[in-house]
Structure 1
Amino acid sequence: MNYQIIPPPPQLAQHVRFFWVLESEAPYIHRSLACGCPELIFHYKGTFDEVTDPDNREKSFVSGIHGQSQKFRRFITTQGFGIFGVYLYPFAIPHFLSLPADALSNEMPDLDTLLGSEGRILEEKIMLASNNYSRVTLLANFLENRLRKTQPERSYITSLVQDIIHSKGDMRVQQLAQDSCLSVRQFERKFKEYSGFSPKLFSRIVRFQSTLDEYDAKDKTLTQIAYHCGYYDQSHFIRDFKEFSGYHPKVYFDKKAEGTEWRDA
């Protein structure tokens, strides 16, 4: 299995976290975990089905957006595959698509639904590209053109969403509302528009995601991981981890969970 990260050009760094590629010649079961950031995804080789229950599968899109999510989902393919994607900050949704971020929370619309003919043309270009660096150039140019059309302004809320991500969810929501000079209700409404979730839920998801960075921390106990990532006790950590991944963290950190092969690539 090949997993590769490609940094964005400087002009997109405020909206794009990174481009990524995942390729394999073998069948694969993937589990997407709760995440505060959306992804624009293109399956340029092979297709996946979403496993909605043990007896039911639904065809996933060829290209589309996996919105920021508070739940895990399972996908399966019986063939080799190639996926190209871009990992975005959540406020990239209103900036690139002129939609509130929460319109795509827990959703997976295909590119045709989102962008019509413009999306179909982009999909065709990505599919026909000769390599993944060409795909990065194509998608970066597309996103830059979208920004020129929408001309978004940097705001306190977008900066705040970014700060919460980089602080791994370790920020006090009440204090943030006061600093914004907005009422708590106004602040939460505006925050949801640019992050997809309430400040409290978004911070919980970001904190959970920070624990995944400890995947290879063989010398740490679950308690040490919990405290290091800002949880006040191990039971709180276990409860959140099970809610957002479907696994007890011991199963995950013992490398017995499905869909983690890309982390070992």
Structure 2
Amino acid sequence: MSVRGRIDNFTIHFQPSGFNRLFGIPMTELTDAAYDASAVIGPEIPRLEHELGDTPGFAERIQLVEERLIRMLGRHGTVDPVAIAANSLFASNGIHRVSSLATDAGLSPRQFERRFLAQVGVPPKLYARIVRFNAALDHKLRLPSRAWSRIANDHDFYDQMHLVHDCRAFTGESPSRFLAHLERVPEFHTFFATENHPRQK
């Protein structure tokens, strides 16, 4: 398929357990896989796609999706303590101790990990590593002149090699090579963007 002309698109970034809370699907069923949205969520997706196609303005399309999601969120009750813990882990750039989060949630470590897996899709310690790596990468994208060693220190890696190890584990490449790929496709930067500021040392 060949597409020409201007294409407008946007992505939806859910909170760590947001997709599970909205749709009730165990995230372990979706982790490391790609699905057509309608196969996962159901007939609501084709209807929404049709409405988006009939909505002329880009801002209006975003508003349409936001209103639909907010309406769905209103059907749910209080936020689960594991969801609160996952949000805290994200807000801390992956620095919070998982054991203390389990205690704060009033759960044993095993209970916490089981519920975290269902709501987020990966174990809490792995999620913390992913969040920390994303924050470090976002930091480097915003401040390209900052040395990788400083980035590693700012985000509580043991040293630069620890950051390199995690980068290879998640991307299969060194930080510099992976960053070079991202620089060629700046639209992908949003996938690593975070509103959290790193802890300066």
Bin of the TM-score, shorter chain as denominator length? 0.7 to 0.9
Q: CA deviation at 1:258?
A: 6.2
Conserved 8 A contact 2:171-2:178 = no
SS at match of 2:78: coil
1:210 to 101, 124, 135: 135
Q: TM-score, normalised by structure 2?
A: 0.82
RMSD: 2.3
1:94 Cα deviation after fit: 2.0
Question: 3-state SS of the aligned residue for 1:86?
Answer: coil
- TM-score normalised by the chain length of structure 1: 0.64
Residue 177 of structure 2 is aligned to residue 251 of structure 1: yes
Which residue of 2 is the match for residue 155 of structure 1? 80
For 2:122 and 2:77, how far apart are their aligned partners in 1? 20
Task: Find the counterpart in structure 2 of residue 223 from structure 1.
Answer: 149
Matched, 1:164 2:89: yes
Q: Which residue of 2 aligns with 1:101?
A: 27
**Going by fraction, where is helix more abundant, 1 or 2?**
2
CA change 1:78–1:89 in 2 (3 A) is: same
Distance in 1, matches of 2:184 and 2:71, equals 34
- Give the corresponding residue for 2:13: 87
1:205 CA drift (Å): 0.5
Deviation at 1:79, TM superposition (A): 4.7
Whether the 8 Å CA contact 2:8–2:58 is kept in 1: the answer is no
Question: What percent of counterpart residues are identical?
Answer: 27
Q: Could you list the per-position Cα deviations for residues 224-264 of structure 1 after superposition, in whole angstroms to 9, with x for gaps in the alignment?
A: 111111211111100111222232112244x4556532249
Find the aligned partners of 2:20 and 2:159 in 1 and give their Cα distance. 36
After superposition, what is the alpha-carbon deviation per residue over 1:105-131, rounded to whole angstroms, capped at 9, x for unaligned? Answer: 222221221233221100111233212
Number of equivalenced pairs: 187
Residues 211, 225 of structure 1: 8 Å contact kept: yes
Structure (1 or 2) with the greater strand fraction? 1
Q: Residue 198 of structure 1: CA displacement?
A: 0.5
For residue 174 of structure 2, what is the amino acid of its counterpart?
Answer: H
The reply on whether 1:186 has 2:100 as its aligned counterpart is no
For residues 145 and 131 of structure 2, what CA distance do their matches in structure 1 show? 23
Give the Cα–Cα distance (whole angstroms) in 2 for the partners of residues 121 and 148 of structure 1. Answer: 20
Equivalent AA in structure 2 for residue 117 of structure 1: P
| Alpha carbons 1:91, 1:194 under 8 Å: kept | yes
Q: Does 1:199 align with 2:152?
A: no
Matches within 5 A, 1:3-42: none
Distance 1:78 1:224 in 2: 42
